[in-house]
Amino acid sequence: MDEWNITPHFEDRVRQSFGVPEIRTEFVNQLNSDLEKYAHNKTKKASAFPKLSPVWTIVFSLLILLTVSTLVIGPQRVFAAVRGLFGYIPGVGIVDQSAPIRILAEPVSVTRAGITVSVNQAVLTDTETRIGFGISGVPLSAYPHGEKVAGCSDREYLLLPDGTRINPNAPIPTNAKQATFVLPCISNTLPGSVPTNWQIPLRFIPAPPDLVILPVIDVTAPMNPIDDNTVAGSDLQVTETTTLAQAELHVNQIIETEDGYILMGSLRPNIPEGSWLQITGVPTLHDATGKKISYSMPDNVQPIDTGSSGQGGSDWALQIKGAGVKFPLTIGFSGVVISPIDTQASASTTIDVGMNPQPEQVWELNQEIPLAGTTIRLLSVSAFSDGYSFAIETGPTLSSVSVEIEGYPALGGGGGGQPGGGKYSTSLVFAELPKGRLTLLISNPMKVSPTESWQTEWQPQVIRDFPANPQVSNSQICLTDENLSLLQSLPNGLTGKMLLTELNPDQQIVLQNFDGSQRQLLVSGGARGALSADGLQLAYFSAEGLVIQNLASAERLVLAGRQGYGLHWSPDGNQLAYVTNLEFFGIAVTDNLGGNIRQISTLGYESIAGWSTDGMQLYFAVPSATNDGFMLKVSDMTSGQVHDLFLLKDSSRKAPYPTISADGNWIAYRAGDNSSLYLMRMDGSQGHKVIELASSGYAISGIAWGPDENLLGVSLITPEVPNGKIVLLQPDGCEAYVLPALQGILDGMAIP
């Protein structure tokens, strides 16, 4: 499978880059005070320094640096200036730039037995090395599947020209211009399943002058309000923090990117010992007009540790685009405080599970149990292979309770529930499953506070003018955060059917008209079916195997033992392609009678995109070793040969849902943020977004084309419709409509 590794982030403070002990806060504060006091005094005659040990020579040199910096730029900005030794390299992260930086001369890849290992990036400083590498083409069969054997755990390392072996994150001596990246084996693969001892030669060069390194800027409240005399380009930013009883929210550092900002901050609890702050929901960002601002969580930025993680606090990083944002920006978090009520409170009840409890067996109890002045309700107990799960109704004031079985020490367990949601589930795992009449001990009730909100405001010192979108023309984007809620219902005249997987209350496959009429329940308990091009055949997997159902006659053909996902009908309805890891690992193609089955690929995690219009080629995508998207491949059904076509750039790392239009001209796929949608010509050109929903809480769950490139259906998970809002759009004219009577995951579309 695809793997992307960047060696651990080293967001060291300045003192760590010098290798000296931590300077006490009291000393720094006193130093700063003294510098302010004497900054305007005349310079006195310097006296000779006593001889110092090497460590303290370094410490004193650092203090001289602080002193000189303070006199030049002012005491309020000295630490921001020192912090400026660190910079942000897009795609890499935060690095120490106090010494020369080297980079990888060019990406290097090695392919063996269909598996590619690629070193895509390397950044070298005096204090660390960051290696970014990717792996693709590893079949699922190479990994443990229930076997009682561990996969490979040997870690990668670097081999220097003189034979020295070092960790891949360790600094490389400046005189070493080359190194060999050694991967002893691919992580978690079984012995003998794939090639081992990968060795990739690397060459390092000085970072070119045009290497983009963006400063990491400390956010500091100014002593005086900003006026027209403020120096343009100053690293001082404006922040205003709202402090409530339970927590403080701060913006601590920012990075100015090409199209916006990366904000790094902290949420610091201010709660009694023994209590816990639990963040609920997702962060919210609004500009000065109240407009909701989209953001992402940059995966290559490790928020700087501020010591806020105790008692549920956190450090965070959010990235925004600056186009159209009216400052100041308001950042908001919400959460609850969970606290113990009475550490001595306890209660007990009994349950008889018999002498032969079975996995998935459920005992419905609905027992009321008094505890710590309130009443909880034990709803049910469920068994699994080596333990039990307990469903408890806690009520609105309790968050959780602890459960034990008297006389049976548990090996472990877990629990979860929405604080204040009224229900909680906890489980226990045992060396041997308890049987018979059991006494349950319930204790440690935890109360939950009403939901609190915390906000802070931030705005840049100099507000930049951002282009509307430097990468994508607005005329090509049909659906955005702003117009999604304004979509009109589908007008009369356009008729068709949608194949949906409904999620609530149970999974089931339905076929329904665009307007919600003539709803047919096709499969109860089933999910993710496939509809033939003529709309007359349904294929889906069940416990029986692969089921092919004639929708006109209701006849069912069951191909026993066939299991998998990603079903796709050929255009003529005579063949079915799917991904399996049961019959073998990879893509299987079977005729619609099940009499002939072919193996097309060997991985087991491919994403099938569709067929060519003549049914002679099958398209699928797999993760690329370069980590910048999925690679679209094509298999010739006559020769069996497989070829790479082009990269689905910025495709989702989880599941891109690639889908080729029925006329074979376009491919649609889910973007890296999982909520935007790209279209690309089948020659790899004209890639552009047609949906851009960057706000949190949105995700594309299904994509289906109509009979040509003029109609595209999408199911969207939204905060308002978590089961899936169905949207139809015409990419060419950018018309978009919502189908309010339908909800679910979109699996197919048929137009009469």
Residue 325 lies in a domain: yes
Do 401 and 494 share a domain, yes or no? no
- Over residues 154-179, the mean pLDDT reads 95
For residue 546, CA distances in Å to 140, 347, 465 come to 21, 50, 56
209: in domain: no
In a domain, 211, yes or no: no
Shared-domain flag, residues 496 and 425: no
Residue 53 has pLDDT above 70, yes or no: no
Is the confidence at residue 242, as pLDDT, over 70?
A: no
Say whether both 442 and 487 belong to one domain. no
Helix (H, G, I), strand (E, B) or coil at 77: helix
Q: Which of 76-90, 427-441, 593-607 has the highest mean pLDDT?
A: 427-441
**Given this model, what pLDDT does residue 71 score?**
36
Q: Domain end: 467, 502, 532, which one? A: 467
Domain membership flag for residue 38 = yes
For residue 504, name the pLDDT band (cuts at 50, 70, 90): confident
CATH number of the domain within which 598 lies: 2.120.10.30
**pTM, full prediction:** 0.70
Q: Residues 692, 716: one domain?
A: yes
Residue 557 sits in the same domain as residue 636: yes
Q: Are residues 443 and 478 in the same domain?
A: no
Residue 635: count of CB within 10 angstroms of its CB = 22
Whole-number percent of the chain with pLDDT over 90: 58
- Opening angle at CA 335, ends 388 and 239, nearest 5: 150
- Whether 381 is in a domain gets the answer yes
pLDDT digits (tens, 9 = 90+) for 590-631: 998 877 899 999 999 999 999 999 999 999 999 999 888 899
Asked whether residue 602 falls in the same domain as residue 628, the answer is yes
pLDDT tens-digit profile of 213-235? Answer: 899 998 865 433 333 333 333 33
Q: Judge if 496 and 365 occupy the same domain.
A: no
Higher pLDDT, 515 or 150: 515
Query: What's the confidence (pLDDT) of residue 226?
Result: 35
Percent of the chain with pLDDT over 70: 82
Instruction: Provide the pLDDT for residue 148.
Output: 65
CB burial readout 21-48, b (16+ within 10 A) else e? eebeeeeeeebbeebeeeeeeeeeeeee
In a domain, 636, yes or no: yes
- State the chain's mean pLDDT as an integer: 83
* Residue 342 CA neighbour count, 13 Å, CB half: 10
- Are residues 462 and 491 both part of a single domain? no
Q: Which range has the worst mean pLDDT, 71-75, 180-184, 282-286, 325-329?
A: 71-75
Q: Give the model's confidence band at 19: pLDDT under 50 very low, under 70 low, under 90 confident, else very high.
A: very low
Beta pairing partners, 635: 618, 642
Q: Please tell me what DSSP assigns to residue 189.
A: P
Residue where a domain stops, chosen among 448, 467, 486: 467
Domain that includes residue 164, residue range: 1-42+50-204
pLDDT at residue 147 in the model: 61
pLDDT of 31 higher than 70: no
Residue that is last in its domain, among 204, 233, 253: 204
- More confident: 330 or 697: 330
pLDDT at position 460 over 80: yes
Contact 466, 349 (CB under 8 A): no
How far is Cα 176 from Cα 79, in angstroms, rounded to an integer? 33
Q: Are residues 461 and 533 in the same domain?
A: no
Provide the domain count of the chain.
3
Query: Do residue 504 and residue 440 come from a single domain?
Result: no
Q: Is residue 396 located within the same domain as residue 487?
A: no
* Residue 487 domain flag: yes
CB 713 within 8 A of CB 727: yes
Q: How confident is the model at residue 16 (pLDDT cuts 50, 70, 90)?
A: very low
Query: What digits encode the pLDDT tens for the residues 56-80?
Result: 333 333 333 333 333 333 333 333 4
Kindly state whether residue 210 falls inside one of the protein's structural domains.
no
